[in-house]
Structure 1
């Protein structure tokens, strides 16, 4: 049965997984339930055959070349962090940072800035920033939910608009592919740059972080979480289960080691430097290609894998050569690092699988088809943005959403003579919405993990912030589609964002219940 004939039913797997996750707090079982119901639909509603098809989906996604690279990258990051914990370098760096941070606000600002500073890759940024800043935010009784929000709302939005990141090659590659398909004579990288001012959701999400941090305007379930952490000293709720098993305290630094801050900094510098080099090298810069062409053609999976391996090799050399730690202890720390990432890897595997199931059912074609029926050039950007929000929330992956929408939206924009910069911005920034608040999103999972937050609690507290930024961005895309100046629109959006955060912080209080309570 062709995917496009499933219609509204194509939303069922994601809907079931999301509802079960929020209701039961059992992420793995909920994700598999969504995969199973989607697979059962695909095989003609035979539940036994559906179970077998579910396993095929999981195997196919785990063994996919790019996905397996991400899984290996995650394992290597876990190993690197385990060795860094053993070296005591993270504690040494945290102590240096903590000596300069005197208030909760400074701790939150430091977390946000570090998340933006490591812009080369959103996964690496989430893992590193969370690991470094968690002991510091704990010191100032900042809730784990707040830390997860700061990680989730600074890493991917920054990486998605950075001109040197693992996202750039993928995004520019999609633009080039569709420009070639419809015969558009324009430089894909230039259009990418032109789209940045129109990335309303990404820019508002970043702005909202600093509005909330600087003004202290928490709202929704986050307000309750912060009040609990500040007044009771409880970083997580009584019924919460932090999404992490191994922490720095679980790996003891040998007594003879004098921890240095550069034990942590050196592998991180190696990770970032080798990843950046890998992007340019794999893109063919040594073959005479320009910087732009190199980034556009870069093998992002290989680049981050090289970077993670370089980080591991660097900290291993430090442990063996400078800290002179026994290799048996090093081996144990690597194993503990692997344990740290096992659960998130399981969730990532199932999240990819349910995304594949939803795509096989034609959720993208269905949402896009519904949208096409009401599109005019003026409302095209807004409709595309809303479609990207729905699809990304349903399948839990921004890159998957981009892959679905580009072949639909760019030709449609060409046929309607609509501006490509606004259209492309609507796809790229709308795809981030699901990253921020879908419980089946890989980056949402990683933010929960490296903040050591309960996953459902993170989703509960993040949703109001994502909805505020998303609602304002929707209006801004309508205004931009009407031809209003982008900078005037953006300034107006920030003003409304500030007012909205203030009003919600004063009036949206939740003393007893969250958006989704189990």
Structure 2
């Protein structure tokens, strides 16, 4: 089978562009991804039908069996999804979710409080973006449903406290990965004066997109700044339609499950606490083992840097599931109801699993086409130095949007940004690296083929494309704010001036949003 690379060709953009455009226009995610996969495979095999079929088969097989062994990362993430679906359903049938909703109803006074609670939980649970979206969604959903907050709004609350928090948190899977990447880059270029962790902390205020995404999210929650499609979803929610019922049940939904009358709040919080504690334990444990194998001493940052994220999530979910199951038996719930919850919970995650499998497949195809490298190659050329932070932000955004991966974009774009800084002005190294991080999160937020976006939809039990469409205007607003900030930073060389510029544009944007929302 002859597989070619189109890294030097704009043709490599075709599969992601076709998949994204079709997904947004037709709202049929699997069909759109499938067509994108087919187009990419045809390009790679020079339109040889037999080779195309073989290539697609090998790519799909690689999702489960890769290099002569099980693809543990993918399988463990899917296992985590299934386990979390079963935990959520068992919490529902035990009556614990309703008990928590009743308890919170007496303390959370209105919709605004419910949204602020969700944001708070999203900021506290910063271990991993997948973990954040799914776990916080499970906790917040009973409350946001009670106050008629649309599932699209819940998905936005989850997504905008997942990646933006993780990308600026050193104690997270994202932070550890970024510290490792940046540490290697800085060492290669002779920057050894500062520790890698301190460098990461210095970059936090330079990540304009993450910072102002969180600020905008807070303002949207406080002032109900509902614009575009989000406004219609919120109006529908007031009438009791939390999601578009004409499209069927969204991923992660457990509709019409019977609920026991003996549910206790402990039945919600103990499983979630066990899930979080076990996941953190397994992360630290696997990271410590990796450090010991390399002859390094233990450190929390080092452990997170070397941890097995998917394995830890999966093992943590097993512990959470067992705790939930034991509580259900202690509560003396009928075995038939328990089995109903387990099967319904696993089944509820199937739509998300299908989308993830297709997204991973097209990611493999895009990787073979080297779309990301082609995007990165566009940076080279006659670009004024002062505009490089802006250009890197935009290019990282487009790359992450096209490939559906911020981590992959980090890996491609950060070394390029470092090389460009060293070739022009090394004092701009950290701002340019920060622009890449910010742009990658922006592109990831907007992309319908991003696994983080998919899992935020799943955590909120929202139809995936509805989440993409409703979040897009807010993401674009923050991207515009970030571009102004990076332009000012580039021309002045001052991080403070760039941050002030962002703040001014943010204030103007906020005023415009309030007018647009009719508040």
Tell me the TM-score normalized by structure 2. Answer: 0.90
Alpha-carbon distance in 2 for matches of 1:6, 1:55: 26
Residue 145 (1) aligns with residue 152 (2): yes
Q: Which residue number corresponds to residue 272 of structure 1?
A: 276
**Residue 56 of structure 1: how far off its partner (Å):** 2.1
**Residue 44 of structure 1: how far off its partner (Å):** 0.6
* Pick aligned residue for 1:475 from 481, 484, 495: 484
Q: Which runs of 5+ in 2 are unaligned?
A: 66-70
Go from structure 1 to structure 2 and tell me whether the alpha carbon gap of 1:494 and 1:458 turns closer, same or farther (over 3 Å shift). Answer: same
* Pick aligned residue for 1:170 from 169, 177, 182: 177
**Residue 503 of structure 1: how far off its partner (Å):** 1.4
Alpha-carbon distance in 1 for matches of 2:129, 2:356: 15
Alpha-carbon distance in 1 for matches of 2:258, 2:232: 34
Alpha-carbon distance in 2 for matches of 1:267, 1:455: 27
Go from structure 1 to structure 2 and tell me whether the alpha carbon gap of 1:32 and 1:490 turns closer, same or farther (over 3 Å shift). Answer: same
Alpha-carbon distance in 2 for matches of 1:121, 1:477: 27
Give per-residue Cα distances to partners, 1:9-30, cap 9 Å, x unaligned. Answer: 1111011111111122111111
* Pick aligned residue for 1:331 from 332, 339, 363: 339
Alpha-carbon distance in 2 for matches of 1:62, 1:350: 13
* Pick aligned residue for 1:396 from 404, 427, 450: 404
**Residue 205 of structure 1: how far off its partner (Å):** 0.9
**Residue 367 of structure 1: how far off its partner (Å):** 1.2
* Pick aligned residue for 1:81 from 70, 84, 88: 88
Alpha-carbon distance in 1 for matches of 2:479, 2:471: 12
Q: Which residue number corresponds to residue 129 of structure 2?
A: 122
Q: Which residue number corresponds to residue 462 of structure 1?
A: 471
Could you tell me whether the CA contact under 8 Å between 1:211 and 1:498 is conserved in 2? no
Give per-residue Cα distances to partners, 1:176-221, cap 9 Å, x unaligned. Answer: 3333444542532222111111111111111111112212222222
Q: What are the residue-to-residue correspondences of 1:470-509 with 2, within 5 Å?
A: 470-507=479-516
**Residue 120 of structure 1: how far off its partner (Å):** 1.4
Could you tell me whether the CA contact under 8 Å between 1:6 and 1:361 is conserved in 2? no
Residue 304 (1) aligns with residue 313 (2): yes
Give per-residue Cα distances to partners, 1:353-409, cap 9 Å, x unaligned. Answer: 212211211211111111122445432222211111001111112112212223332
**Residue 75 of structure 1: how far off its partner (Å):** 1.7
Alpha-carbon distance in 1 for matches of 2:423, 2:474: 35
**Residue 245 of structure 1: how far off its partner (Å):** 6.0
**Residue 488 of structure 1: how far off its partner (Å):** 4.2
Q: What are the residue-to-residue correspondences of 1:93-132 with 2, within 5 Å?
A: 93-132=100-139
- Secondary structure, aligned partner of 2:316: helix
- Secondary structure, aligned partner of 2:170: coil
**Residue 229 of structure 1: how far off its partner (Å):** 3.0
Give per-residue Cα distances to partners, 1:216-255, cap 9 Å, x unaligned. Answer: 222222223223333x4433346444423641x5432445
Q: What are the residue-to-residue correspondences of 1:55-70 with 2, within 5 Å?
A: 55-63=57-65, 64-70=71-77
Could you tell me whether the CA contact under 8 Å between 1:172 and 1:192 is conserved in 2? yes
Alpha-carbon distance in 2 for matches of 1:498, 1:61: 45
Q: Which residue number corresponds to residue 450 of structure 2?
A: 441
**Residue 274 of structure 1: how far off its partner (Å):** 2.0
Alpha-carbon distance in 2 for matches of 1:508, 1:374: 42
Could you tell me whether the CA contact under 8 Å between 1:212 and 1:501 is conserved in 2? no
Alpha-carbon distance in 1 for matches of 2:103, 2:245: 32
Q: Which residue number corresponds to residue 513 of structure 1?
A: none
Aligned residues: 504
Go from structure 1 to structure 2 and tell me whether the alpha carbon gap of 1:300 and 1:326 turns closer, same or farther (over 3 Å shift). Answer: same
**Residue 149 of structure 1: how far off its partner (Å):** 1.2
Q: Which residue number corresponds to residue 512 of structure 1?
A: none
**Residue 41 of structure 1: how far off its partner (Å):** 0.1
Go from structure 1 to structure 2 and tell me whether the alpha carbon gap of 1:452 and 1:410 turns closer, same or farther (over 3 Å shift). Answer: same
Alpha-carbon distance in 2 for matches of 1:456, 1:441: 12
Give per-residue Cα distances to partners, 1:109-140, cap 9 Å, x unaligned. Answer: 12222222211122122112222322322232
* Pick aligned residue for 1:16 from 15, 18, 21: 18
Alpha-carbon distance in 1 for matches of 2:279, 2:409: 25
- Secondary structure, aligned partner of 2:264: coil
Give per-residue Cα distances to partners, 1:53-87, cap 9 Å, x unaligned. Answer: 22322222344332222122212212222222232
Give per-residue Cα distances to partners, 1:80-107, cap 9 Å, x unaligned. Answer: 2222223222221222122212222122
* Pick aligned residue for 1:189 from 179, 197, 200: 197
Residue 347 (1) aligns with residue 355 (2): yes
Alpha-carbon distance in 2 for matches of 1:127, 1:363: 30
Could you tell me whether the CA contact under 8 Å between 1:240 and 1:457 is conserved in 2? no
* Pick aligned residue for 1:158 from 147, 162, 165: 165
Task: Single out whichever of 162-171 and 465-474 deviates more from structure 2.
Answer: 162-171
Q: Which residue number corresponds to residue 251 of structure 1?
A: 257
Alpha-carbon distance in 1 for matches of 2:231, 2:258: 35
**Residue 351 of structure 1: how far off its partner (Å):** 0.8
Give per-residue Cα distances to partners, 1:137-185, cap 9 Å, x unaligned. Answer: 2232222221211111112211222232222222222223333444542
* Pick aligned residue for 1:405 from 407, 413, 424: 413
* Pick aligned residue for 1:420 from 418, 429, 436: 429
Alpha-carbon distance in 1 for matches of 2:9, 2:164: 31
Q: What are the residue-to-residue correspondences of 1:353-372 with 2, within 5 Å?
A: 353-372=361-380
Q: Which residue number corresponds to residue 68 of structure 2?
A: none
